[in-house]
């Protein structure tokens, strides 16, 4: 089982560039989310989705867009990369409210 | 809004000893779940243990146990018989049962010494 797959694993961007972080899950989970991890701050929720066609903002949504056209995929778009977006990004999915979230391997993004 | 507090940035523990990682939380909801995740140096997030707010027994999973004190709003993780492979960052997290959002603490780094 693939679980949650994130691509790419590493990325370097120049300030102002845009890019999409890909996330796919093969577990038919309704709920998917994106987090960023910064030193000393744990994981902070960027955007989440409770099903295809439904997305909402998390704690730190500025500078990021998401869409959910299928149950499987939940891409995260950086519109105009800034050095403050240098971070490790995690995608996660879960089947319902009472179970753990399954995480992808993470994407380490550096914006120069 | 939920808030998770982990007050221990880093801890050292001797191999084969037990270690307790502190976690306190704040929520006005009565129905919620508490989670612990392990993040080794390789970076992946590994689920360890879950405790529901209405569970009467403390959760256990192998060498991991959760010391759940609801009135004190604490959910401490106990790792028994520490192994070198337990060296990692540990995160406490919570979500309420009417909301899919998972809120994380800042994490505790555990270093196991031989």
Confidence grade of residue A1 (pLDDT, cut at 50, 70, 90): low
pLDDT in tens, B41-57: 999 999 999 999 999 89
- Is B85 strand, coil or helix? helix
pLDDT reading at B99 higher than 80: no
pLDDT in tens, A32-82: 999 999 988 889 999 999 999 999 999 999 999 999 999 999 999 999 999
Confidence grade of residue B6 (pLDDT, cut at 50, 70, 90): very high
Cβ neighbours, 10 Å, residue A77: 14
Q: Among B9, B101, B106, whose Cβ lies nearest the Cβ of A48?
A: B101
Contacts of B6 in chain A (CB under 8 A): 42
Residue numbers of A between 62 and 81 with CB closer than 8 Å to B: none
The most distant pair of C-alpha atoms in chain A lies apart, rounded to whole Å, by 40
pLDDT reading at B62 higher than 80: yes
Preceding peptide of B108 cis, ω within 30°? no
User: Tell me, what's the pLDDT at B1?
Assistant: 62
How far is Cα B11 from Cα B9, in angstroms, rounded to an integer? Answer: 7
Task: Please compute Rg for chain B using Cα positions.
Answer: 14
């Amino acid at each position: 089982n693939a679980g949650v797959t994130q691509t790419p694993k590493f990325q370097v961007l120049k300030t102002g560039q845009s890019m999409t972080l890909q996330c796919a899950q093969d577990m038919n989970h309704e709920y998917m989310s994106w987090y960023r991890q910064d030193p000393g701050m744990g994981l902070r929720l960027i955007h989440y989705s409770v099903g295809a066609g439904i997305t909402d903002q998390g704690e730190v949504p500025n500078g990021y867009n998401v869409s959910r056209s299928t149950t499987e995929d939940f891409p995260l778009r950086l519109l105009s990369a800034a050095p403050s977006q240098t971070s490790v990004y995690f995608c996660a999915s879960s089947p319902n409210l009472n179970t753990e979230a399954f995480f992808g391997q993470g994407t380490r993004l550096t914006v120069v | 809004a939920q808030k998770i507090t982990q007050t221990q940035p880093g801890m050292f523990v001797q191999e084969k000893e037990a270690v307790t990682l502190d976690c306190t939380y704040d929520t006005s909801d009565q129905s919620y779940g508490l989670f612990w995740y392990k993040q080794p140096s390789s970076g992946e997030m590994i689920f360890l243990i879950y405790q529901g707010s209405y569970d009467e027994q403390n959760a256990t999973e192998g060498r991991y146990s959760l010391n759940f004190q609801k009135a004190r709003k604490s959910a401490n993780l106990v790792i028994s018989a520490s192994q070198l492979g337990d060296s990692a960052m540990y995160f406490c997290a919570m979500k309420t049962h009417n909301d899919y959002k998972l809120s994380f603490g800042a994490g505790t780094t555990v270093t196991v010494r031989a």
